[in-house]
A = this chain, B = another copy of it.
Amino acid sequence: MSTTPASALVILNQPSRHAPGSLDDVAPMRFVDPDAFHVGVRDLGITRGDGIFETIGAVSGTPQALEAHLRRFARSAAALDLPEPDLDAWRAAIAAVTDALAGHSEAAIKTIYTRGIEGDGRPTGWVHGFASSDFTAARQVGLRVVTLDRGYRHDIASTSPWLLQGAKTLSYAVNSAALREAQRRGADDVIFVSSDGVVLEGPTSTVLLFREGQLVTPGPGLAILDGTTQNCLFAFAAQRGIPTALELTTIEHLHSASAVWLVSSVRHAAPVTAVDGIPRAAESELTAQFNRYLAERDA
């Protein structure tokens, strides 16, 4: 009987065809010890948070929404002027790590791509997978959220692309600080709001609302990530005949909607049970349907 490791790590030799490889050997990728050191202190990923990532859910060895994640990964790379990622190389590395963790019912697969060691022109790339935490409570009991100012106007991405809103960068210190602020306020998670009062996204999730018979996500034209899980749930809604829409959303909508969720690739759909300390209702049956659908995706 083989045992499944708790985690697996693959380093890519050449994460982009447009830049030289990063390793001395010529294998396109190699498995290495996830607990050993693999990053240099001059890597711009750590000195400047100058890189991008995706976190992909895997269910029993199948990565979910893989192509949507890879498309967003490539868009993030372009936003940061990183060399275009070699998506075939990334696909192969993701498959290798996912296969290695197929014994886990749920795993998280992180792709990390940095500008590499300052000045040498070789980007750094790896895929790190690990067994997921147990998100049963978040999925079934739900999350208390607080709304926090994101500081930017809702349309900042269209005027100021150097602010990198809408790219999934390694510069996530603000997202982590926001989650600590939520804990200080007795909550579990955060919904960011623009300086002009528009609901944006969570630090690591997309906001979904069920409102006036429609499944709604904030948009269009907002300075937020294109949600891979939200897109899957819109496809589910289309199958079920539930209308969907991108709509400018306010905090008042978070209170008045029939249901609100934070959706993300690994935690899946977590109902929001309170906003800024005010309890709100959930749609348990729809939540359960969402999570069954997300768990059973085969691509």
Interface residue A102 (Cβ < 8 Å from any Cβ of B): no
The CA-CA distance from A115 to B180 in the complex, in Å, is 13
Cβ–Cβ contact B46 & A42, under 8 A: no
Cβ–Cβ contact B37 & A39, under 8 A: yes
Number of copies: 2
| Interchain Cβ contacts under 8 Å between A and B, 26 examples | A34-B41, A37-B40, A38-B40, A39-B41, A41-B112, A41-B126, A41-B128, A47-B170, A48-B176, A49-B170, A49-B171, A50-B173, A79-B177, A148-B162, A149-B160, A151-B152, A151-B153, A161-B181, A162-B177, A162-B178, A162-B181, A163-B177, A164-B177, A170-B171, A170-B173, A171-B171
The CA-CA distance from A259 to B175 in the complex, in Å, is 38
Interface residue A98 (Cβ < 8 Å from any Cβ of B): no
Interface of chain A residues 210 through 264 with chain B (CB within 8 A): none
Which residues in B have their C-beta under 8 angstroms from that of A135?
none
Nearest residue (CB) in B for A152 is B151
Which residues in B have their C-beta under 8 angstroms from that of A174?
162-164, 171
Which residues in B have their C-beta under 8 angstroms from that of A171?
49, 169-174
Cβ–Cβ contact B34 & A37, under 8 A: no
Count the A residues whose beta carbon is within 8 Å of the partner chain — how many? 55
Interface residue A35 (Cβ < 8 Å from any Cβ of B): yes
Cβ–Cβ contact A40 & B46, under 8 A: no
Cβ–Cβ contact B9 & A41, under 8 A: yes
Which residues in B have their C-beta under 8 angstroms from that of A49?
49, 169-173
Known contacts A126-B41, A180-B81: A46-B162 contact under CB 8 Å: no
